[in-house]
Amino acid sequence: KRVAVGTPKRNIHMSNIVEEMIFDKQDVLSTPKLKSKRSLAFGKEKDIEKILLEVTPKKPVEETPKRVQRSNSKYVKDSETPKTPSQKLKMIRSGELTPSFKEREGIEHSKLSKNDLQLARERLHVSVVPLSLPCREKEFENIYTFLEGKINDKCGGCMYISGVPGTGKTATVTGVIRALQKQVQEDMLPAFDYLEINGMRLTEPRQAYVHIYRQLTGKTVAWEHAHALLEKRFMTAAPRRITTVLIVDELDILCNRRQDVVYNLLDWPTKTAACLVVVTIANTMDLPERVLMGKVTSRLGLTRLTFQPYTHKQLQEIVTGRLVAAVSGDARRALDICRRATEIADSSKGKEICVNILHVQQALSEMIASAKVQAIKRCSRLEQILLQAIAAEVTRTGVEETYFMGVYTQFESIANFMGGILVPNTGQVLRLCSKLGAERLIICEHTRNDIFQKILLNVSTDDIHYALRVIPEA
Amino acid sequence: MSDGAEELLQIRRFLKERLQRDYTTFRGHDTERENIRQLLQRTAEMAESNSLLLIGPRGVGKTTLINAVLTDLLNNPDFIQNTLVVHLNGYLHTDDKLALKSITIQMQLENACDGKVFGSFAENLAFLLECLKAGDKRSKSVVVILEEFDLFCAHHNQTLLYNLFDVSQSAQAPICILGLTCRLDVIELLEKRVKSRFSHRQIFLFPNADDFSEFVKLFETLLKIPNERELKKHAERVASLKLLQSDQLTFHQNHYDPGKYKFNKRITDRWNKHIDALLQQNNVRQALQSLFDYDVSEAGLKIFIYRLVAQLQNHPGRTQVTSEQITQLISSYNNDTKVEILCGLSILEMCLIISMKHHSEIYDRDPFNFEIIYARFNKFAKVSTGMQNIERGVVLKAFEHLRNLELILPIASCASKVQKEFEMHKLALTYGQIHQAVQRYQVLPTEVTQWSQSSLI
């Protein structure tokens, strides 16, 4: 009975912590102030609880270490920088230690020393996202109105965005968020919280809870705990709650077999208390119908948006928006090709600094070139004969899959026909096989199968004929 | 005399060390080398983020190329101060967890301490990403070298590759990802979102297979002793490797040091002249040609020369590399190891092999078991003079010996419950190999030789 009395009390207490933290964070982002405020509040509560503790013995074992930890970390902060790594880890977990990166020692190259091509290359880098994305105005408008409406009405909702990689989904969504945040600053829109998670950055779907909770409070806790706390936050009504916008990138990775994570993420917006808007992003258009369970799909709703791959003209606009035109369906790809072209132009030391069509063509052929013909040409003579033998065996049997023994017979006859070659023994030919297999010109089984291994050509026979016919004549 | 012996010892040691422990000398492929050098330089100086795949067959010198480029860049103080080199290998870092710990240690992040990383896998990933996110153009650039790149593609969800490529394509700490692999179709292994983030720069490194004269020249440079000026230049280069303060790039710790050697000019002249004369000989060129036909890679040639150099001794006629040694060594390459195993079998085992050959010839390589072979062997043993009273148990033992030598292979699909006399096998030899073995076998009885020619008794 005593436990039954104790549990609800603690629960309320926990949700209080969460609420308090979030509201404090909105005001100022200074941790020490927040700390002291809370520790004051805690001091009062502590006293009350102490009295309670004396009345009800041997109960809150879980709460005591927590408080100890907090005072401990505070102590560390007050005194000196931490010495032991475990203390450091504690600080990382509590969010007090911000991750940093080593700075350069040399002076950075000033903008002045760069020539036009270098500047162009910098601007063409994929990481430089422009303030307004060209050719995505309609999608931008669509997402903007959706989010703006939800924030104004203080209600929750879901949206699903799909499209092949490199079509500007994430860039557009973050652009919308940026525009909305600007509106908030100008007091045109009620304030909102912005959280984002990426499925590929998690080691496991359930880590999503940990990441969301950390973005809310800055603390790292175990996922079970994070889940419980988030559940509390979104289920219980709070008077001063503001809308939370959650962006979920790479949604398909979050789908495990039980789909509990996706379900929870999409179930919270349906609660009136949550004020949560979830925007999910994935590659496939029919992901909800194909992978997700019925109850999850129904919660995802029908607000969907598809990003079409860029057409030739749109890509041209993007590149000229940054600079100069290319051929591909992926904006990242197009930009990389352009960047490579500027490098080629730079190294060719042209007097007039500009990228001509030859440079682009060279970059293009470098990036989408298939090297198989080249690889066959550069094989040793016996490897070439082996490839020919496999092709001959395929023609003889009419089956794609050949056996080593048949290939070896063909090999012997071709080598004898060519003359002047000492025919290698089976062991040597097996070695040649595994070498070609490592390069993936052929696909072969493990060598333990010895002369019974199956061999499959991984290049077309036309490629082999083309590559080998040219050599003897030249 | 002892002076000459001393010199020879020195030459041998020098050549051996240069063959084995010269990790930074890379020959040819100037455009590819320049390309990678510029890429790394831009990463270090301009803080540009890049990704690149270096693809080429085994033994072509992919790792050596990277080492050589890194050595070149060591003269550049900007590079040493402003870059962190992180080195990962697909065979060592078999999953993302291990790879991530290794990255954390090599980048000396805050949750690492003396080679130990604290926190779970998820925490490590989150912390690394936050660190990279915290960085910008002003932070140090990171060069990540991923050897055996194709094995990283097999990791769960390709989380590590996605995140590394994603960092290289967003405004975070400058990072350059260099993947090394021997698979030509490695791009197809990448998931589509990972592929989209990869910059599609691929550099293919192929051996120079068209030109035999290049191969001969390489043979010459690997065997000749450089003059004093060249030695000095090399020594300086090797000395600069000390600047490389990475625990992971260990090649500088045990690099060969040409500064240790000093040769008498007269002796080196004689040695080099002899090599020149050697290469004029026809049989030497023929031997090299047959090696070239089989394997065009530099690694293969180095192993061959190592074996050649190891034969140098202070005996008359052994102090120089001779053409006989070369031709002999090449012909030893063509020895069939299976025939040698066959020649070491007992006569009873040889008889069983011949029975198997007859069975395979008659039934077109149908599988067999012990009983079939024993019956066939018995037919021969009854009429032969020397094989009459061999017990069944002895023959079974011989059969098992053949199985252990993997001259016969059990058929995998066979149920395991079958008794060993009835287990089906197939013969892992060609008829030509058996024929050769019968020819080369010492003191094989005439009746066995005759029986091997025809299955009729």
Rounded CA-CA distance B176/B148 in Å is 17
| pLDDT tier, B404 (very low <50, low <70, confident <90, very high otherwise) | very high
Rounded CA-CA distance A363/B455 in Å is 66
Rounded CA-CA distance A104/B82 in Å is 5
Q: What confidence tens digit (pLDDT) does each residue in A169-195 have?
A: 999 999 999 999 999 999 999 999 999
Q: What confidence tens digit (pLDDT) does each residue in A384-394 have?
A: 999 999 999 99
pLDDT value at A18 more than 80? no
Q: How high is the pLDDT of residue B400?
A: 95
Residue B77, chain A, CB below 8 Å: the answer is yes
CB A148 within 8 A of CB A266: no
Which of A88, A337, A372 lies nearest to residue B111, judging by beta carbons? A88
Inter-chain CB proximity B77 and A438 less than 8 Å:
no
Q: Please, which residues have CB within 8 angstroms of residue A238's CB and are 6 or more apart in sequence?
A: A19, A273
Maximum Cα–Cα distance for chain B, whole Å? 91
Angstroms from B388 CA to nearest CA on chain A: 34
Q: What confidence tens digit (pLDDT) does each residue in A257-293 have?
A: 889 999 999 999 998 888 899 999 999 888 888 888 8
| CA closest to A165 among chain B residues | B193
Alpha helices in A268-380 (DSSP H): 287-290, 294-300, 312-322, 331-347, 357-368, 372-377
Which residues of chain B neighbour A204 with C-beta distances below 8 Å?
122
Q: What confidence tens digit (pLDDT) does each residue in B41-75 have?
A: 988 888 889 999 999 999 899 999 999 998 888 87
Q: How far apart are the first and last CA of chain B?
A: 66
Q: Which of residues 32-71 of B touch A (CB under 8 A)?
A: 34, 38, 45-49, 55, 57-58
Angstroms from A338 CA to nearest CA on chain B: 11
Q: How high is the pLDDT of residue A335?
A: 80
CB A274 within 8 A of CB A268: yes
Q: What percent of chain B has pLDDT over 70?
A: 97
State the residue for tokens 């004051």.
Answer: A40
| Spatial CA neighbour of A131 closest among A274, A372, A321 | A321
Inter-chain CB proximity B134 and A374 less than 8 Å:
no
Domains in chain B, ordered, with CATH?
3-10+211-334 (no CATH), 29-204 (3.40.50.300), 339-453 (1.10.10.2450)
Alpha helices in A218-328 (DSSP H): 223-235, 260-267, 287-290, 294-300, 312-322
Neighbours of B64 (CB within 10 A): 18
Residue type, B410: P
Which residues of chain A neighbour B45 with C-beta distances below 8 Å?
109
Q: Please, which residues have CB within 8 angstroms of residue A290's CB and are 6 or more apart in sequence?
A: A284
Inter-chain CB proximity A451 and B433 less than 8 Å:
no
Lowest mean pLDDT among A382-386, A425-429, A469-473: A469-473
Residue B98, chain A, CB below 8 Å: the answer is no
* Chain A, chain B: beta-carbon pairs less than 8 Å apart: 223
Inter-chain CB proximity B159 and A104 less than 8 Å:
no
Q: Mutation test of the interface with chain A: which of B41, B193, B301, choosing the one with the most A Cβ atoms within 10 A? A: B193
Neighbours of B126 (CB within 10 A): 22
Inter-chain CB proximity B129 and A201 less than 8 Å:
yes
Element (H, E) at A454: strand A454-457
Element (H, E) at A193: strand A192-198
Neighbours of B152 (CB within 10 A): 26
Give all strands (DSSP E) within A4-141, no chain letters: none
State the residue for tokens 């020397």.
Answer: B386
pTM for this entry: 0.84
- What's the average model confidence in pLDDT over A330-355? 73
| CA closest to B140 among chain A residues | A104
Q: What confidence tens digit (pLDDT) does each residue in A239-259 have?
A: 888 899 999 999 999 988 889
Q: Which of residues 298-317 of B touch A (CB under 8 A)?
A: none
Inter-chain CB proximity A85 and B118 less than 8 Å:
yes
Inter-chain CB proximity B172 and A127 less than 8 Å:
yes
Output the 3-class SS for B267-284.
HHHHHHHHHHHHHHCHHH
Give all strands (DSSP E) within B122-167, no chain letters: 141-147
Question: Judging by DSSP bridges, how do beta strands B141-147 and B83-89 pair with one another?
Answer: parallel
Please give the structure tokens belonging to residue A159: 């949206």
Q: What confidence tens digit (pLDDT) does each residue in B437-453 have?
A: 999 999 999 999 999 99
Rg (CA), chain B: 30
φ/ψ of residue B313, rounded to 5: -145, 165
| Spatial CA neighbour of B187 closest among B177, B199, B174, B175 | B199
Residue B405, chain A, CB below 8 Å: the answer is no
Q: How far is CA B121 from CA A202, B99, B193, in A?
A: 10, 10, 23
| CA closest to B56 among chain A residues | A439
Rg (CA), chain A: 32
Quote the ipTM score.
0.93
Residue type, B293: D
Element (H, E) at A442: strand A442-444
- What's the average model confidence in pLDDT over A91-103? 82
Residue B254, chain A, CB below 8 Å: the answer is no
State the residue for tokens 């050719």.
Answer: A135
Residue B283, chain A, CB below 8 Å: the answer is no
Inter-chain CB proximity A330 and B196 less than 8 Å:
yes
